[in-house]
Amino acid sequence: MENLKKRWEIQHNWQLLFPILGVVLLAYSAYKLSGIFFDRHFTNNIPYLIGLSVIFYFILLKFFLFCFKKLENKWIVAYKWEMIRIFIVFAITGTSSVFIGKPIIKILGITKENLNIFVYWFLYIIIGLIFYQILLITIGWLFGQFQFFWEFEKKMLKRFGLKRFFKD
């Protein structure tokens, strides 16, 4: 436990919540990924599902640890454990924007049947992107990372060509 606290620069026990939450969400993601593969290729074979989940878990773990290492010097955070919190915010925001985008598309009457498929997906992505921006700031604030995500948001919007709305 002490090695974990040292590695992630954890000073208080409540900060352990984020590495634990990260491990749980990673395991859930691995399970969902293996479920997608499992449903298509296997029938009623739980050991394969568990084995595939474990394989996906370790692949995802290696990938995210690689990302942490690459982004460690790029993202300015006070402690390493805050990077886990930032990744969790990105995961929740991405998922939430999809769940919010679907009903909004239906309310607006946009369907695959009444529009060209390319127009439908273009509008779906645009609407999802709009809600993603709002949710990123909101969920970042809820997780105590408002300043990080506000700076991240300004950079993203400047890349979209909206520089005139932000003064540096």
pLDDT averaged over 10-residue windows placed end to end, the chain, 168 residues: 83 88 92 78 72 93 91 85 91 88 87 86 88 92 92 84 65
Same structural domain, 70 and 80: no
Residue 153: strand, helix, or coil? helix
Same structural domain, 60 and 139: no
Same structural domain, 110 and 140: yes
Among left, alpha and beta (phi > 0; psi -120 to 50; other), residue 161 is left
User: Last residue of some domain: 74, 104, 122?
Assistant: 74
User: Last residue of some domain: 34, 52, 74?
Assistant: 74
Q: Of 97, 74, 64, which Cα lies nearest the Cα of 152?
A: 74
Same structural domain, 18 and 63: yes
Residue 40: predicted pLDDT:
58
Same structural domain, 88 and 160: yes
Same structural domain, 64 and 90: no
Q: Is the whole model's pTM more than 0.75, yes or no? A: yes
Residue 158: predicted pLDDT:
83
Supply 150's token pair: 């506000």
Please give the residue range of the domain that contains residue 33.
1-74
Same structural domain, 21 and 67: yes
User: Last residue of some domain: 14, 41, 74?
Assistant: 74
Same structural domain, 69 and 83: no
Same structural domain, 53 and 84: no
Query: In the chain, how many domains are there?
Result: 2
Same structural domain, 61 and 20: yes
* 104 Cβ contact partners less than 8 Å away, ≥ 6 residues apart: 127, 131
Residue 4: predicted pLDDT:
83
Residue 145: strand, helix, or coil? coil
Same structural domain, 59 and 103: no
Q: Which amino acid is at 16?
A: L
- What is the spatial distance between Cα 114 and Cα 136, in angstroms, rounded to a whole number? 31
Same structural domain, 84 and 166: yes
* 150 Cβ contact partners less than 8 Å away, ≥ 6 residues apart: 137, 140
Residue 136: predicted pLDDT:
93
